[in-house]
Amino acid sequence: MNFSFFKNIPTLYFYLVSIVCFVVANIIRDKNIAIYYILLLIGIVSFFFGVIRRVKSR
């Protein structure tokens, strides 16, 4: 698979996606536990992608 589009995404978008995922996960926590954990995982992964991108750009 070609993941070259990740190289063109600004670091700020990874952080914004992680914040949105964490907020939506906390809103949805009581209604659907499976989606809660999926959103938490997406939020954590996108946060670490942002951190890795920032460290590599410096």
For the segment 1-56, what is each residue's pLDDT rounded down to a tens digit? 566 776 778 889 999 999 999 999 999 999 999 999 999 999 999 999 999 988 98
Question: For position 56, what pLDDT does the model report?
Answer: 83
Question: For position 7, what pLDDT does the model report?
Answer: 73
Using the CB atoms, write b or e for 24-35: b if 16+ within 10 Å: ebeeeeeeeeee
Cα separation, 43 vs 21, whole angstroms: 5
Tokens for 25?
A: 């996960």
Cα separation, 37 vs 1, whole angstroms: 26
Question: For position 1, what pLDDT does the model report?
Answer: 59
Question: For position 10, what pLDDT does the model report?
Answer: 87
